[in-house]
Amino acid sequence: MTRPSSPTTDGSRLLRAGAVLAAERLRPPVGDARRRTVCGAARLLTGLGVRVAVHVPAEAWPRTRTGPGLLLVANSASPLDPLVLLTVLRGVVVAAPAPERVAGVPCPSVRATVADVAAALARGTSVLVRPELPTDGGTALGRFSPDLLAAAVATGAPVCPVAVRCSGGAPGPASGARSLRAALRWTGGADVLADVHLLPALSSAGATPQELATTAEYAVAAVLGAGHAAAGGPRPPRPSPARRGALDGAGGGGQRGPATR
């Protein structure tokens, strides 16, 4: 259960989160930029009262030290999803139409085009896409667009579904929290729990983008217990599981997610 918001709580959270953001900007540039971004995102989520729980798959995701990166396919649960997933999935860039900034934090990103995502995957970089199409409201899961999954087919990249559920936070679109104040308005001054489920990887070999999108959508819906936004045709043949690889944090729930590089 989330605690109710109050003006005092809102003010203290804004001050705390603002202090975190200011401290990150003043912090000496120790380590690489990606690590600083991830650490800053984790501290900011803590300041906003967002707790993250990670549930890893029974079988580890494939290694990416050689070959293409992983294409991570997630639903859209909240405006803070990119920050949440950056703290869970190390070495990932976010596919976005323009440089992504969430709650004042710049996120490592790649342009959300098939060519740019495929180029990143071919370099061994793992890419996060959120292909869920908007719905008319309610709790139904939107359909997953197959557009960017063509990059996985083109490069042979494994497709890794990710289900995100947020308990708490204001209702509304899962986007638009570019500023710190917007992020605080979404949390409503209440504690938020973000549950991240890393689901078994799918092989893109011999699959179409539509098959991969629909199979990832069904996998996410099964975890969330969500209905679908629209009735679809028969479920396509399930792509085969991707070859198992040994990654850090490969067993149990509530752990930090595996590195993707």
Residue 96 has pLDDT above 60, yes or no: yes
pLDDT at residue 78 in the model: 86
Q: What is the mean pLDDT of residues 42-68?
A: 88
What amino acid is encoded at 4 in this protein?
P
Q: Which amino acid is at 176?
A: G
Residue spans per domain, the chain: 50-179+190-224
Rounded to whole angstroms, the Cα distance separating 84 from 90 reads 11
Higher pLDDT, 78 or 189: 78
Look up residue 31 and give its DSSP letter. S
**CA–CA gap between residue 195 and residue 133 (Å, rounded):** 21
Which parts of 168-210 are beta strand (E)? Answer: 192-198
pLDDT tens sequence across 73-85: 999 988 889 999 9
Cβ 260 vs Cβ 61: under 8 Å: yes
Sequence letter at residue 224: L
Q: What is the mean pLDDT of residues 136-149?
A: 84
Average pLDDT over residues 51-57: 94
Whether the per-residue pLDDT at 235 is higher than 70: the answer is no
**Six-digit token string for 37:** 């971004």
